[in-house]
Amino acid sequence: MSRRIEVRPALTGPQMDFAFAEDPFPAFVGGYGAGKSQALVIRLLLLKLRHARLDVGYFAPSFDLIRLIAWPRFAATLSEWGIEHRLNRSERTLSLATGGRILFRSMDVPDSIVGFEIADAGIDELDTLKESHARDAWNRIVARCRQTKPDGAPNSAAVATTPEGFRFVYRLWRAEQRPGYRLITAPTRSNPFLPKGYIDNLRATYPPQLLDAYLEGRFVNLTSGAVYPDFSRSLNHADAEIRPGEPVHAGIDFNVGNCTAIIAVVRDGLPVIAGEWTGVRDTPALARLLKENYLDRGHAVTVYPDASGAGHRSVNASASDIQILKDHRLGIVAGPVNPPVKDRIAAVNALILDGDGKRRLAIDSGRCPTLVECLEQQIYTTGGEPDKSAGRDHAPDALGYLIHARWPLVRPGRSSVTSLRI
């Protein structure tokens, strides 16, 4: 006759949300000391006890982490709960007296994640892997979760990790926001059981940008060469619905097959970014979008295009990109040449966070997801130029043409660049 086991784990609020999440793919993303690994252990054990005869799997970046961290944690928790268990080190399994096993596998060689079936998975520190490596491991682990549960509950794969910039976990749980993928975040301070002085020691050790990740559990650009290092999707955010008849301004970046327009209104003399058009096929298609969505609906429209569009011919040999915009009755402000890249970036950064600590650039992050992601992630190359290889340059460039034309950064001893209305 099986005995009833009652467990009352001591959990923080975020740990509780994660351990008992019914979503098939929950992710616990937290700062150092937020209790991610312990929450993962408890979640797996609770799932294991709910379906005692089924197996669950625990996955870590290396076997050393399994040996040094996972095995002791599982053993201590099971002993605390009064559940007998036996570790088979050679087979890397932990058998419970209540039935079934916990399988331990390393993700350092994804090809080895084969030859077994489990009901549920727990993955520790997935984001420490390279993005392609993490995606491969994730796909293989999810494919292993196929033991049928007697109550018909779905199989699950849960992740507990420190945020390591904009890698795999960011893309799957934050950027793509797929159904069934739940993101639970936790700052270090959410854990009341940390040693005294732990948080102060972190503050004294890491620079502010890394503290956002390792203390607050946020996805941030961990590269020191961020083009827009002070941008914050929360601090620079403002809800921005364009009002009837309100004049509209659009910065435009021309690219064959990927034209971009960043849409703004001016309120209290400052820009409020209220929309974006990205991945547009060509200039005529972009011009039609601007005309039909704004000009034809009673908004005066002024565009601030890439000056190279005066000679760029994206569609036919008789019309430049700027001429196409003019043919759609859009007001155009453009200089004879583009401003220096460093001046354009400096103008944007000066509005993101000025010398007095004020944020004068507001962006509706819900309406401008591509722009926000690019401002967070674009970095400098080793040659000191903004990186264009990752495709995160088009939206910031379009924003920069607008900002530099309307709010140029005037350096001491230099006159500002005067744009020309065409």
Same-domain check for residues 204 and 253: no
Q: What is the pLDDT of residues 350-382, one digit of tens each?
A: 999 987 889 999 999 999 999 999 999 898 887
Q: Is 4 a member of any domain?
A: no
User: Is it the case that residue 422 has pLDDT exceeding 60?
Assistant: no
The vertex-120 CA angle with 172 and 137, nearest 5°, equals 45
pLDDT above 70: percentage of residues in the chain = 91
pLDDT at 152: 94
CB 34 within 8 A of CB 157: no
**What's the rounded mean pLDDT across residues 228-254?**
93
Residue 157, both tokens: 């794969």
Alpha helices by DSSP H, 91-196: 131-144, 168-169
Q: What is the pLDDT of residues 405-420, one digit of tens each?
A: 999 975 444 434 434 4
User: What string of DSSP letters covers 53-71?
Assistant: TS-EEEEESSHHHIIIIIH
Q: Is 239 a member of any domain?
A: no
Q: Is 204 a member of any domain?
A: yes
**Number of separate domains in the chain:** 2
> Regarding predicted confidence, which is higher, 8 or 134?
134
End-of-domain residue from the set 170, 188, 214: 214
CB 333 within 8 A of CB 266: no
Q: Is 223 a member of any domain?
A: no
pLDDT at 203: 84
Q: What is the pLDDT of residues 308-327, one digit of tens each?
A: 765 555 554 346 888 999 99
Q: Where are the beta strands (DSSP E) in 282-366?
A: 301-305, 331-334, 362-363
Phi, psi of 114 (to 5 degrees): -145, 165
Q: Which domain holds residue 267?
A: 248-421
pLDDT at 311: 55
Distance of CA 376 to the CA centre of its chain: 9
pTM of the model: 0.63
> In sequence order, what are the beta bridge partners of 275?
263
C-alpha closest to that of 39 among 172, 184, 173: 184
Q: Is 2 a member of any domain?
A: no
Q: Is 19 a member of any domain?
A: yes
Q: What is the pLDDT of residues 261-313, one digit of tens each?
A: 999 999 999 999 999 999 999 999 999 999 999 999 999 999 999 887 655 55
User: Is it the case that residue 113 has pLDDT exceeding 80?
Assistant: yes
Same-domain check for residues 409 and 288: yes
Same-domain check for residues 114 and 202: yes
Q: What CATH number corresponds to the domain at position 307?
A: 3.30.420.280
User: Is it the case that residue 348 has pLDDT exceeding 80?
Assistant: yes
Exposed e or buried b per residue across 140-175, where buried means at least 16 C-beta atoms within 10 angstroms of its C-beta: bbbebbebeeeeeeebbbbbbbbbbbbbbbbebbbe
pLDDT at 419: 42
Q: What is the pLDDT of residues 137-187, one digit of tens each?
A: 999 999 999 999 999 999 999 999 998 878 899 889 988 888 999 999 999
User: Is it the case that residue 71 has pLDDT exceeding 70?
Assistant: yes
End-of-domain residue from the set 168, 197, 214: 214
Same-domain check for residues 175 and 275: no
Same-domain check for residues 188 and 59: yes
C-alpha closest to that of 371 among 239, 231, 254, 265: 231
Same-domain check for residues 22 and 112: yes
Same-domain check for residues 203 and 253: no
Containing H/E element for 214?
A: helix 208-214
Other C-beta atoms closer than 10 Å to the C-beta of 39 total 27
Q: Is 225 a member of any domain?
A: no
User: Is it the case that residue 6 has pLDDT exceeding 80?
Assistant: no
Q: Is 189 a member of any domain?
A: yes
